[in-house]
Amino acid sequence: MHTVFRIGIVQKIDQNHELYQVNLNLTSDDDKQLRQLTEFIREEDRSSAGWPRMGNLLMKIGEFNKAAALYTVLLQQASDDHTKANIYNNLGLTKEKLGENEEAIRYYKKSLTIHRNSLPAHHLSLATSYNNIGVAYYKMGDYSQALEFYISALEIKEKAEPPNPLDLATSYNNIGLVYDNMGKHSNALEFYEKANKINEQTLPSNHPHLATGYNNVGAVYSNIGDYTKALQFYEKALKIGEKSLSPHHPDLAASYNNIAGAHMQMKEYSKALEFYEKAGKIYEKSLSLDHPSLAISYNNIASVYDNMGEHSKALEFYEKALKIKEKSLSLDHPSLAISYNNIASIYDNMGEHAKALEFYKKALKIQEKSEPPNYSILAIFYNNIGQVYNKTHECSKALEFYEKSHKIKEKALPPNHPDLATSYHNIAGVYQNLGDYSKALEFYEKDLEITKKGLPPNHPDLATSYNNIAGVYLNIGDYSKALEFYEKDLEIIRKALPPNHPDLAISYNNIGLVYNSMGDYWKALEFYEKSHEIKEKALPPNHPSLAISYGNIGQVYDNIGNCSKALSFLEKALAIQQKTLSPSDPHIMETIRRINDVKKV
């Protein structure tokens, strides 16, 4: 009796009948980690008995409909208000787990009404009701309401005698989540760290709540662009998972995904691919071949290949993800829209703008019909269509879709949210393409204002803002101003990123452009070569950015009259472009024209 095993490897052994082999490892009597965890779980459930305990157990094993049916029967039998309040609360929990958040709030508020009428104003049962209502509002995306109820819960918990540390940690964590989603990352970090401090002092070292807490802190650091810090916390969470979970547990895959995501942001694509593939292997071994998590995994791998410039590989994995979704989802499911959007982005990057537009519009059609509408996703889709029109020089169309996107963001987000900065940046870009440089500067400066307020002074996004403003000054021929802002950009990039980072190559390239425009060709060559040296180390040999680099160096040699060198570099640029772009791409046409001009000389 009471023999306990750890689950080792779970492997599918019969694809047709879905039979699985489960390898179990017998635990020993002196397994300290297991003993701590078991005692903690027992303590968690000591407050209930009989049928209510059965309801709690059904909830823990995910049988939410059965739990709801049991609680409904218990409600009919309940004779006192205290019992009814608890059952209403539990019914709310079941509805919340089933995704029926409005129903959950209805039950939670019934529980709250009973408690308010029968209990002192600072009774802990009121805190539970406030907290649960906050959770439901959070899941509905109503962050201001969620924050209001979470704070009401926290105020009661902080006055409790004696205070319950784990209850406080839950409140701190919940408030952190809301602030994080509102883009208030410093506030989020403050509350997450309070929660983690309590959990570290109170919980067993391998408890899943600790891993969740570390992942939350990692996510904040990722959001503010401190990816090194983010990785530290994601790796802490992974260590807990590796100790307490089987090697093919989906939660381990989630940790690998988080780590991969941080490497992606740092543009360490080989590392990102390594961890995304680890996650993918877990999903392939532990899930059915048409499971949605496998689609997400293929999607992540595709995004790495996309960023590496390997568009055909990216398309292959995005299409794998789409096939899974088409088998398991309805034709108008929002997740299909995401897949269409991703495939569109690949065609966009390959210069196949008509194909890109076709898939973006498929995505938009699904999302516009979605009930309730997901305005944040709609804003992204409008933005993406705007980008395609911008690239095809249909500026009025681009502006129309960018402004649709921006209107949604203005209504939904606080005035200094980073997504608004992105909108200003995109609208500015259209005005720049239209030659309306004063308007372009106006919107780029709005972008810069938000970015300065929301991010540390050496954040790469701030460098991007300086870079954009410099580009406008370059357009109007104000080279000293352009150089000033490009050098601000370079100063940040040098401090924030490793010496061979691709963004540093972009900064050197831009300064080279200014010197080239000023007629200082040797200075231009110096910066173009610095840029090219980084790209050769950091990028695959056929990356489109290398083609740009060869083209720029070729142009300088042409300007100083070294035709053989100019021809050599321009032909290298053309070779890459012909491998990575469609034959009708204007960049290919321009390179061929320049080669012919050099040959004439």
| Secondary structure string (H, E, C) spanning 160-215 | CCCCCHHHHHHHHHHHHHHHHHCCCHHHHHHHHHHHHHHHHHHCCCCCHHHHHHHH
pLDDT per residue as tens digits for the range 334-387: 889 999 999 999 999 999 999 999 999 999 999 998 777 788 889 999 999 999
| Distance in angstroms (rounded) separating the CA atoms of residues 55 and 71 | 7
Q: Which domains does the chain have, with CATH numbers?
A: 48-156 (1.25.40.10)
pLDDT band at 35 (very low <50, low <70, confident <90, very high): low
Using a CB cutoff of 8 Å and minimum separation of 24, what contacts does 61-66 make? 62/97, 64/94, 64/97, 64/98, 65/94, 65/98
What six digits make up the tokens of 267? 């543009």
Kindly report the average pLDDT of the chain as a whole number.
Answer: 89
The β-bridge relationship of strands 19-26 and 5-14 is antiparallel
User: How does DSSP classify residue 48?
Assistant: -
Cβ–Cβ under 8 Å, residues 232 and 217: no
Which pLDDT score is estimated for 1?
Answer: 42
pLDDT band for position 286 (cuts 50, 70, 90): confident
Percent of the chain with pLDDT over 70: 91
3-class SS at 20? strand
Q: Which residue stretches of 61-141 are H helix?
A: 64-77, 81-97, 101-118, 124-139
More confident residue, 261 or 600: 261
pLDDT at 572: 95
| Residue 39, pLDDT score | 64
CA triplet 518, 522, 524: central angle to 5 degrees? 55
Q: What is the pLDDT of residues 52-62, one digit of tens each?
A: 677 777 776 67
Amino acid at 474: L
User: What are the phi and psi torsion angles at 15 (to 5°)?
Assistant: -60, -35
Dist CA 171 CA 163 (whole Å)? 12
Per the model's pLDDT, the better-predicted residue between 260 and 89 turns out to be 260
Residue 332 in tokens: 């108008």
Structure tokens at 45: 């459930």
How far is residue 467's CA from residue 423's CA, in Å, rounded to a whole number?
16
Q: How far apart are the first and last CA of the chain?
A: 92
The residue to which tokens 């290398």 are assigned = 546
Calculate mean pLDDT across residues 169-191: 94
Q: CA-based angle 7:94:82, to the nearest 5?
A: 120
What band does 11 get if pLDDT is binned at 50, 70 and 90? low
What HEC string does 239-301 produce?
HHHHHHCCCCCHHHHHHHHHHHHHHHHCCCHHHHHHHHHHHHHHHHHHCCCCCHHHHHHHHHH
- pLDDT tens readout for residues 78-134: 778 888 988 998 999 888 888 888 999 999 999 999 999 998 988 988 998 999 999
**Full 3-state SS string of 148-164:** HHHHHHHHHHHHCCCCC
Bridge partner list, 10? 22
Alpha helices (H) in 308-394, listed in sequence order: 311-328, 334-349, 353-369, 375-391
Q: What does the block give as tokens for 460?
A: 């790469």
Task: Specify the pTM.
Answer: 0.56
What sign does the dihedral 550-556-559-565 (CA atoms) show? negative
Angle in degrees, CA 393, 396, 364, rounded to 5: 90
The tokens of 90 are what?
């539990």
**Spatial CA neighbour of 150 closest among 125, 170, 165:** 170
3-state secondary structure (DSSP) of residue 3: coil
- Rg for the chain (alpha carbons), in Å? 28
Q: Which helix (H) or strand (E) holds 122?
A: none
Whether the per-residue pLDDT at 16 is higher than 50: the answer is no
Mean pLDDT to the nearest integer, 541-567 = 93
The span from the CA of 287 to the CA of 268, in Å, is 28
Query: By C-alpha distance, which of 312, 328, 319, 282 is closest to 298?
Result: 319
Residue 461 is encoded by which pair of tokens?
Answer: 């996004």
Q: How far apart are CA 200 and CA 197, in angstroms?
A: 5
Which token pair is 579? Answer: 């491998």
Q: Quick check: helix, strand or coil at residue 415?
A: coil
